[in-house]
């Protein structure tokens, strides 16, 4: 039987998607060739890329609004660099909200390219919360935030209203909840948290913000070049793009983000409720900033760890260990994780308390 997979990333994918993907590796499109041994310029693969890009814009409700969707490589970590490369002129100012490890890494790269200011940080409270009282300076070129903190289990519930270019790293919660995505000018996400296998990164960018810095941009880092070449400037990650396309189609068939958000809320409510009512456990993140995707918690009594680990492993649960930097437990409940898996975890926690 399939395990209950709470892995933080690479993540669980729908079983139907894995099946289709496995078939396509052997025989794609009934052409008696594998998906991964045909030209990325062949008609069937170009159709896959186009479908993936259009499903992204459709699901985010960003069609015909001046956005382009790109499937790039280098992970979300490459976007930490590409964002300032493409958006920050030499006399500009990049502003960042620091909500954890990933934001901090993005800040580090921006500093290589120019004036970078951290306008608020929750570092002092161990990144248990999201800063709320801050203003984006008038001279900011862009504002960058991380919508969901995968490691600490916090999530931004609202975003600042600003006329500045707004960039968001949505690696671990894209397609999980309804938002007005048009409030962002650039969204990026590594595929492997909530969309597909590792190896491709989604970038959704409003084309009108590009080409405004005088900087010479290396071709592979230039969003305008990737956009002009329809995300095929070089050989794209054909398999990850294909599986992402299947997952996006799966989500659309389910009823889109609106439908999956309800399931995600139900899963999170079930688990947080158990954490709050079970005397053995406590949540890590501040209640008001709790993530629907990555639920972080600890055992109050660490000496029970070995026993608890044995209990959830025996129940067929995988991937519950917290990030190595903070320890404890982390239940990642991405779109494809069924409610039943959360019920299994909650039952283990309840029985453990008895
Ligand atoms: C995992 C993660 C990243 C890093 O993604 P890579 O694709 O491994 O580079 C960046 N940001 C967030 C929010 C993440 O969860």
Closest ligand 1 atom to 77 CA: 9
Fold of 256-353: 3.90.1150
* pLDDT at residue number 71: 98
Atom 3 of ligand 1: nearest residue by CA position: 76
**pTM of the complete model beyond 0.85:** yes
Is the pLDDT score of 316 beyond 90? yes
Q: Which helix (H) or strand (E) element contains residue 251?
A: helix 238-254
Is the pLDDT score of 326 beyond 90? no
Q: What residue ranges do the domains of the chain occupy?
A: 15-254, 256-353
Q: Which 8-state DSSP code applies to residue 213?
A: S
Which whole number is the average pLDDT over 49-78?
98
Q: Given pLDDT bands bounded at 50, 70 and 90, which one contains residue 238? A: very high
Give the Å distance between the CA of 329 and the centre of ligand 1.
Answer: 19
Task: Please give the positions annotated as active site.
Answer: 102, 169, 193
Number of neighbours of residue 116 by Cβ within 10 angstroms: 20
Least confident of 141-145, 212-216, 235-239: 212-216
* pLDDT at residue number 96: 98
* pLDDT at residue number 201: 98
Q: Given pLDDT bands bounded at 50, 70 and 90, which one contains residue 26? A: very high
Q: Are strands 201-206 and 67-72 parallel, antiparallel or unpaired?
A: antiparallel
Q: What is the CATH number of domain 15-254?
A: 3.40.640.10
Q: What are phi and psi of 146, to 5 degrees?
A: -115, 115
Q: With a 6 A CB cut-off, is 167 part of the ligand 1 pocket? A: no
Q: With a 6 A CB cut-off, is 150 part of the ligand 1 pocket? A: yes
pLDDT in tens, 256-301: 999 999 999 999 999 999 999 999 999 999 999 999 999 999 999 9
Give the Å distance between the CA of 171 and the centre of ligand 1.
Answer: 6
Give the Å distance between the CA of 33 and the centre of ligand 1.
Answer: 33
Choose the residue to mutate in 74, 76, 170 for probing ligand 1, maximizing ligand atoms within 8 Å of C-beta. 76
Q: For 38-45, which contacts have Cβ atoms below 8 Å and span 24 or more sequence positions?
A: 40/232, 40/235, 40/236, 40/238, 41/232, 45/238, 45/242
Q: With a 6 A CB cut-off, is 264 part of the ligand 1 pocket? A: no
What would the two tokens of residue 83 be?
């964002």
Choose the residue to mutate in 172, 196, 237, 325 for probing ligand 1, maximizing ligand atoms within 8 Å of C-beta. 172
Atom 10 of ligand 1: nearest residue by CA position: 76
Q: With a 6 A CB cut-off, is 160 part of the ligand 1 pocket? A: no
Q: Are strands 165-169 and 142-146 parallel, antiparallel or unpaired?
A: parallel
Q: With a 6 A CB cut-off, is 169 part of the ligand 1 pocket? A: yes
pLDDT in tens, 96-149: 999 999 999 999 999 999 999 999 999 999 999 999 999 999 999 999 999 999
* pLDDT at residue number 352: 96
Q: Which residues of 33-63 are buried (b: 16+ CB within 10 A; e: fewer)?
A: eebeebeeeeeebeebbebbbebbbebbebe
Residue 270 CA to residue 339 CA, distance in Å, equals 9
Q: With a 6 A CB cut-off, is 9 part of the ligand 1 pocket? A: yes
Q: Given pLDDT bands bounded at 50, 70 and 90, which one contains residue 1? A: confident
* pLDDT at residue number 325: 86
What would the two tokens of residue 318 be?
């995988």
Is 62 within 8 Å of 181 (Cβ atoms)?
yes
Q: Are strands 281-283 and 294-299 parallel, antiparallel or unpaired?
A: antiparallel
pLDDT in tens, 29-61: 999 999 999 999 999 999 999 999 999 999 999
Is 194 within 8 Å of 175 (Cβ atoms)?
yes
Q: Cα 190 to chain center, whole Å?
A: 6
Residue 308 CA to residue 311 CA, distance in Å, equals 5
Q: Which residues of 218-232 are buried (b: 16+ CB within 10 A; e: fewer)?
A: eeebbbeebbeeebe
Residue 150 CA to residue 145 CA, distance in Å, equals 13
Estimate the share of the chain in helix, then strand, then coil, as percent rounded to the nearest 5. Answer: 40, 15, 40
* pLDDT at residue number 324: 87
Is the pLDDT score of 327 beyond 90? no
Structure-derived torsion over alpha carbons of residues 181, 177, 99, 14, reported in degrees to the nearest 10: -120
- Contacts of 266 by beta carbon, 8 Å cutoff, 6+ apart: 339
* pLDDT at residue number 278: 98
Choose the residue to mutate in 96, 153, 190, 197 for probing ligand 1, maximizing ligand atoms within 8 Å of C-beta. 190
Atom 1 of ligand 1: nearest residue by CA position: 171
* pLDDT at residue number 90: 93
pLDDT in tens, 145-198: 999 999 999 999 999 999 999 999 999 999 999 999 999 999 999 999 999 999
């Amino acid at each position: 039987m399939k395990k209950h997979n709470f892995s933080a990333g690479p993540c669980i994918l729908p079983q139907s998607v894995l099946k289709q993907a496995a078939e396509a590796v052997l025989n794609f499109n009934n052409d008696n060739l594998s998906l991964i041994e045909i030209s990325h310029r062949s008609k069937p693969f170009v159709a896959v890329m186009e479908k993936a890009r259009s499903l992204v814009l459709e699901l985010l409700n960003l069609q015909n609004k001046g956005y382009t969707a790109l499937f790039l490589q280098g992970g979300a970590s490459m976007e930490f660099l590409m964002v300032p490369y493409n958006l920050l002129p030499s006399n500009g100012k990049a502003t960042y909200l620091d909500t954890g490890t990933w934001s901090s890494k993005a800040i580090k790269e921006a500093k290589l390219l120019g004036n970078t200011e951290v306008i608020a940080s929750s570092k002092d409270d161990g990144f248990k919360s999201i800063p709320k009282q801050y203003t984006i300076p008038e001279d900011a070129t862009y504002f960058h935030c991380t919508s969901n903190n995968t490691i600490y289990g916090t999530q931004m519930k609202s975003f600042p209203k600003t006329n500045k270019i707004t960039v968001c790293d949505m690696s671990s919660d894209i397609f999980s909840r309804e938002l007005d995505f048009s409030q962002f000018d650039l969204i990026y996400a590594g595929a492997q948290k909530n969309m597909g296998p590792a190896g491709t990164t989604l970038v959704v960018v409003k084309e009108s913000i590009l080409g405004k810095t005088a900087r010479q941009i290396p071709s592979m880092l230039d969003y305008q070049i990737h956009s002009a070449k329809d995300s095929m400037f070089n050989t794209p990650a054909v398999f990850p793009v294909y599986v992402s396309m299947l997952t996006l189609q799966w989500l659309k068939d389910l009823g889109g983000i609106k439908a999956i958000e309800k399931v995600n809320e139900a899963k999170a409510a079930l688990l947080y409720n158990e954490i709050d009512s079970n005397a053995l456990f406590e949540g890590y993140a501040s209640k008001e900033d709790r993530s629907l995707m990555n639920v972080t918690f600890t055992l109050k009594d660490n000496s029970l760890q070995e026993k608890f680990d044995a209990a959830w492993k025996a129940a067929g649960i995988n991937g519950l260990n917290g990030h190595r930097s903070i320890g404890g437990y982390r239940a990642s409940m991405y779109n494809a994780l069924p409610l039943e898996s959360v019920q299994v975890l909650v039952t283990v926690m309840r029985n453990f308390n008895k």
